[in-house]
Structure 1
């Protein structure tokens, strides 16, 4: 892989619902070669957050991958197929549901501040990296849609800690098809301070726009852990704030990455993904644009399209793993030489 590469390839709003913490039977995800576990952590705000992990049973993982789900989604069900593919390719996968999402605590669909979400993810995933059994392993971030934006923000907290990122239709800018008129945005921004939990933001049905395959749309709609309905006022404000701020700071991204976007994506803006590729400081970066594909590249396309996407993702990850890593080499040196200077 060169220094850079461009590839063109194929409810009632008045009722507050508190999401409880659930455990699904681990056997539902277990196979002969994959171990699945669920758990929880408590964040600094007293919320219980759901966590999960998929590990290869019969081999030491070649690297760690930390997954970030999209807005209104969750890890253990909607991203299961993604995790299984990556574990079978030799990686260890770790996930967390954000506050107000999936099986984590909080008012369903409500995020008061996405900076807190970034802190939650960073704290949990960093703790995993620092476990004895994970010392000496590469660390990758993988985020889809909003998760792509959060992955980039996690990287910005510790610019030298992470070894690479897979960004799938990252929400560096909300597409015009789902963004309200500027006048409406101004009104809703003011209202978000008064009635933050209300679900009155006018927007198109994201599920219909995101996933090409009808069966996937139905699966998301029937998944009890996926939030349905219009965005809550404060959450909508935070989504807009985070994406707008990130769009202005794309040139500060410095880790190796591959960014993938569907040519017919109507949820996040593919032109900003290309802009990220063009302006980021990253010494190793790749942009993949898939003509005809929609927003949900990881599980919302026909099987033949998903195979193409994962072939590109796994191929890129394997190249990074094979190419060596200065951060990892310095850590190993420091561990064997107490006088060595760490660079991170």
Structure 2
């Protein structure tokens, strides 16, 4: 497995996932943060937040999901959220043991949905929840017949790639789009059938249970997100008074990779740092 200067090993199920820790700097150590990255990418794409959190006194822990980054597993195949949740729980416990306080759980995109699932199931493991562009509703509406066909395909050929996301919708910054396209650790093919079915089914179920969320939650989401519809975040916020939603007008899916001159990356990072420091 490729190593990273900040890497630790995080074990989930019977596999070893690549894990990372941006250690808190200084003596004013605050609550640790555990971050779950999104579909098709890897944890080190969130290094800027890791460094900012570290400078603010937070340990930030993350890991490459199964089949993502340098972790083992069929590429981008997510058969459910149980294995990612197992890895997140291990990381939360490790972060709490080392940091000495209850961690904040954060998730981006699909990682946001995974984090929300864990918050609903075991809220006692976290101090609060932070979601970046959570994938709860697909920004591209799928006809019912297409969803039904995908379920059949997922049972027979779960790894079959049925649709390729438009990578230009990642960011409004062409340079960031190019970085995404040329990053060999990202998944650049189509979405495996079983992954697409999982994303859709989990999103529907999470929204159906939004009122049950017992963890204070911050969501930051762009209004022009072409992957994860902001309507999912709006529904979540409308269903539960514990949820605060900040909308970024015109923002794409990766707000942290918006053009620097817009001020959006700095503003979004500060929103999360302020939340971490509550």
- Residue 143 of structure 1 aligns to a residue whose secondary structure is strand
Report the Cα offset of residue 281 of structure 1: 5.3
The answer to whether the aligner puts 1:62 opposite 2:42 as a matched pair is no
2-side partners of 1:83 and 1:198: how far apart?
A: 34
Of the structure 1 ranges 142-151 and 294-303, higher mean CA displacement relative to structure 2 is found in 294-303
The answer to whether the aligner puts 1:42 opposite 2:11 as a matched pair is yes
Give the 3 Å change call, closer, same or farther, for CA 56–41 of structure 1 in structure 2: closer
The answer to whether the aligner puts 1:143 opposite 2:143 as a matched pair is no
Name 1:259's counterpart in structure 2.
Answer: 219
Alpha-carbon contact 1:53-1:95 (below 8 Å) kept: yes
Name 2:268's counterpart in structure 1.
Answer: 309
Superposed CA deviations along residues 106-135 of structure 1, whole A, max 9, x for unmatched, are 111112222222122113322331x2x422
The answer to whether the aligner puts 1:181 opposite 2:148 as a matched pair is no
TM-score calculated relative to the size of structure 2: 0.93
Superposed CA deviations along residues 15-48 of structure 1, whole A, max 9, x for unmatched, are xxxxxx2113x2xxxxxxxxxx20223322x222
- Residue 60 of structure 2 aligns to a residue whose secondary structure is strand
Alpha-carbon contact 2:222-2:249 (below 8 Å) kept: yes
More helix by share: 2
The answer to whether the aligner puts 1:272 opposite 2:240 as a matched pair is no
Report the Cα offset of residue 236 of structure 1: 1.5
The answer to whether the aligner puts 1:122 opposite 2:80 as a matched pair is no
- Residue 124 of structure 2 aligns to a residue whose secondary structure is coil
Gaps of 5+ in 1: 1-20, 27-36, 321-344
Q: Could you tell me which of 202, 213, 221 is aligned with 2:163?
A: 202
Q: Counterparts in 2 of 1:14-53, with a 5 A limit?
A: 21-24=1-4, 26=5, 37-44=6-13, 46-53=14-21
2-side partners of 1:274 and 1:203: how far apart?
A: 26
Superposed CA deviations along residues 217-257 of structure 1, whole A, max 9, x for unmatched, are 11111111111111111111111121121121111111111
TM-score calculated relative to the size of structure 1: 0.76
Alpha-carbon contact 2:165-2:191 (below 8 Å) kept: no
- Residue 163 of structure 2 aligns to a residue whose secondary structure is coil
Q: Counterparts in 2 of 1:324-335, with a 5 A limit?
A: none
Report the Cα offset of residue 67 of structure 1: 0.5
1-side partners of 2:7 and 2:49: how far apart?
A: 16
Report the Cα offset of residue 60 of structure 1: 4.4
Name 1:294's counterpart in structure 2.
Answer: 252
Q: How large is the RMSD of aligned CA atoms in angstroms?
A: 1.7
Alpha-carbon contact 1:67-1:93 (below 8 Å) kept: yes
2-side partners of 1:113 and 1:316: how far apart?
A: 29
Give the 3 Å change call, closer, same or farther, for CA 275–180 of structure 1 in structure 2: closer
Please tell me whether Structure 1 or Structure 2 has the larger radius of gyration of its CA atoms.
1
Q: Could you tell me which of 103, 119, 144 is aligned with 1:155?
A: 119
Alpha-carbon contact 2:26-2:57 (below 8 Å) kept: no
Give the 3 Å change call, closer, same or farther, for CA 275–232 of structure 1 in structure 2: same
2-side partners of 1:43 and 1:152: how far apart?
A: 19
Superposed CA deviations along residues 293-343 of structure 1, whole A, max 9, x for unmatched, are 11111224435111111222222332x2xxxxxxxxxxxxxxxxxxxxxxx
Alpha-carbon contact 1:55-1:61 (below 8 Å) kept: no
